[in-house]
Structure 1
Amino acid sequence: MEIPELRPAAEVITTARAILAHEQARLAALLGEHELALVGGSSVPGALTKGDVDLHLRVPAAGFGAAVAALREIYVVVRPEIWQESLATFEVPGAPLPTGVAVTPVGSEHDTRFRRGWQLLAADPALVDAYNAMKLRHRDRPEKYEQRKSAFFDMFMDPR
């Protein structure tokens, strides 16, 4: 089994931004304080993407449980086996592209990793090239892909 065909982020970024705007409006009516951002390969010019959209929802630590409960009402729970006290993951049903939402409390390890990792990647063309090379090397091994992607971010992330 292969990862879906990789394509340049430029092919999906307009749709990804429209999905972000739609979900921002949707969550404004549902949640209190929060921030929703586009992350993932589809958010980085020059990056390769599977054509999916990754959103990162940051909520105050005290509101994490309530936010997760509210999201269960509108989104589909995905990968519950990776959930932690500071991470929950969902899928947006009916989006024009496959769209996932990772929810983290502000200031948590997962929050820093999502926010800072993608900021660093987007700011460094050499990292984008290395990211693309990693994806191309592991596209035919989906069982290793997520592990390799995590290790890639570990190489340049400093949580301080």
Structure 2
Amino acid sequence: MADLRPGARFLPAAHAILRHERERLDALLPGAHELVLVGGSSLPRALTKGDVDLHLRVPPADFEPVVTALRDVYEVVHPEIWQPTLATFAVEAALPTGVAVTPAGSEHDVRFTRTWQRMAADPRLVDAYNALKLRHRDDPAEYERQKSAFFDAL
């Protein structure tokens, strides 16, 4: 795993990317949608390798048309993890950036939204997340398993 640094180091750039992608998506997508910053770069104390995670929440009826439209704008990534309520893309930006698309209210939406809200509100959860990252920094597969279990527990 790359060097880990506090999210505070990346917050200004992450917010600039968020603003840019909001403008881009507002022009591309008619109707309601919400783009939010999540992930380690969204929390000042969270350790991160410096990537930016964006979460695009769309009305359930718009999920398929939005995913289709985004295929023309973003690069599809991790198609092996796509679900009926989750699609993932890479965004060309100053920092490595990904966007996860979910229908609002779906299991994946709730997982992204609530997890990062809870972590933002509780420094102890950020400490536990940081410890998990440090403990498994040399074993990416185990880190992904442990991170998933951590988020499931939240």
TM range (shorter): over 0.9
Residue 154, structure 1, aligned to residue 146, structure 2: no
Q: What is the aligned partner in structure 2 of residue 44 from structure 1?
A: 43
Which blocks of at least 5 consecutive residues in structure 1 are unaligned? Answer: none
SS of 2:56's partner is: strand
Q: What RMSD over aligned residues (CA atoms) do the two structures have, in Å? A: 0.6
Q: What is the aligned partner in structure 1 of residue 140 from structure 2?
A: 142
Equivalent residues of 1:45, 1:122 under 8 A apart: no
Instruction: Provide runs of 4+ in structure 1 moved above 2 Å.
Output: none
Equivalent residues of 2:9, 2:44 under 8 A apart: no
CA distance in 2, matches of 1:130, 1:110: 22
1:65-100 deviation digits (Å, cap 9, x = unpaired): 00001110110000000000000000002x000000
Residue 35, structure 1, aligned to residue 34, structure 2: yes
Equivalent residues of 1:89, 1:103 under 8 A apart: yes
TM-score, length of structure 2 as denominator length: 0.98
Q: Percent of pairs identical after alignment?
A: 68
- Which structure 2 residues correspond to residues 82-97 of structure 1 after superposition, within 5 A? 82-93=81-92, 95-97=93-95
TM-score, length of structure 1 as denominator length: 0.94
CA distance in 2, matches of 1:26, 1:51: 22
Which blocks of at least 5 consecutive residues in structure 2 are unaligned? Answer: none
Q: Report the Cα offset of residue 155 of structure 1.
A: 1.6
SS of 2:28's partner is: coil
SS of 2:54's partner is: strand
